[in-house]
Amino acid sequence: MSAALGRITPRRLRVHRTPLIVRVTHWLNALAILIMIGSGWRIYNWYPALPLDWQFPVWISLGGDPRVTQGLTGEDGLANALAWHFGALWLLAISFVVYLAYGLLSGHFRRDLLPISPSGFVRDLMAAAQGRLAHRLGEQNIVQRTLYWGVMLAIVLMLVSGLAIWKPVQFSGLTWLFGGYETARVIHFLGMAAIVGFLVVHVALSLLVPKTLQSMVTGIATEPADEGISR
């Protein structure tokens, strides 16, 4: 039977589809997160949360060219960065919650991002390091799954610690849970660092396996059905 089918279709293709809702929320999340990171760097520069004599270069931060902004509005870019930050906040909050709801209700999380385990993580990490890890479109290994859970946790941490910094009076209990206002700022910074770390790996991997990127944009990607080991 399968032999006969094989003769009719010369190359059988595995089709991987990415639902529209996942693609839309993915790119909206990406946009919002980039805005929040860029503007967050500018905000950080004004009064660094870390006790380091170091700042983010202005040109990679979001908030306009300080001299141009000064001429346009009479402030040198902090107000602009804050406006980006608290504007994109709503985009991220809504888009991320929609994605979480979809992931939970559709079974996407259970199907694609579980199970995970420490031993499986180590096994897949070793296999990946030795180049022995099979890759099939739409299937995540345990290292990837763990990273996705990690970044989702980091985003939640950012939203909650951000709330503790933004509203230390209305949510004073939350700010207290984060160890107070100043500590909450440090945690908010560390969460950013974790997300940036994820982004570096995530973007590098998607460029190494362009079909994943294709599927995240167009919604569909194919690979030969027998392809299991190749990238």
Partner 1 sequence: MKLTGTLERRGLLRGGLSLGALTLLTGCDISDNDSVHRALAAMSRWNDRAQAALFGGTRLAPVFAEKDAVKDFRYNAFFAAKDSPQLAAGDYKLELSGLIADKKPWTVDMLYGLPEQSSQITRHVCVEGWSMIGKWSGPPLSVLLRTVGADLSAKYVGFQCADGYHGSIDMASALHPQTILAFKLSDEVLPVKYGYPFKVRIPTKLGFKNPKWVTTMYVTNRYPGGFWEDRGYNWFSGL
Which positions touch partner 1 (CB under 8 A)?
27, 30-31, 34-35, 38, 43-44, 46-49, 58-65, 68-69, 72-75, 77-84, 86-87, 90, 166-170, 172, 175-176, 181-182, 185, 203, 206-207, 210-211, 213-218, 222
Contact 58, 42 (CB under 8 A): yes
Q: Which C-beta is closer to partner 1: that of 68 or that of 153?
A: 68
Q: How far is the CB of 127 from partner 1 (least distance, A)?
A: 26
CA 101 – CA 53 distance, rounded (Å):
42
CB of 163 to partner 1, least distance (A): 10
Question: Which residue number, 100 or 216, has a Cβ lying nearer to partner 1?
Answer: 216
Residue 136's contacts (CB-CB under 8 Å, 6 or more residues apart) are: 14, 223, 227, 228
We find the least distance from the C-beta atom of residue 68 to partner 1, in angstroms, to be 5
Report helix angle 20-46 to 210-218, nearest 10.
110
Q: List own/partner pairs for 27-34 with CB under 8 A and 24 or more apart.
A: 27/216, 28/91, 28/95, 29/92, 29/95, 29/96, 29/99, 29/155, 31/88, 31/91, 32/88, 32/89, 32/91, 32/92, 32/95, 32/96, 33/92, 33/155, 33/195, 33/199
| Nearest residue (CB) to partner 1, 38 versus 103 | 38
Which residue number, 150 or 222, has a Cβ lying nearer to partner 1? 222
Shortest distance, position 64 Cβ to partner 1, whole Å: 3
**Distance (Å, rounded) from C-alpha 68 to C-alpha 195?**
30
Distances (CA, A) of 164 to 91, 101, 185: 19, 24, 9
To partner 1, the closest distance from the beta carbon of 169 in angstroms equals 4
| Cβ 113 to partner 1 shortest distance, Å | 21
Identity of the residue, 1 or 169, whose beta carbon is nearer to partner 1 in the bound complex: 169
Our CB check for partner 1 shows the closer of 115 and 173 to be 173
Minimum CB–partner distance for residue 206 and partner 1 (Å): 7
C-beta of 43 vs 142, nearer to partner 1: 43
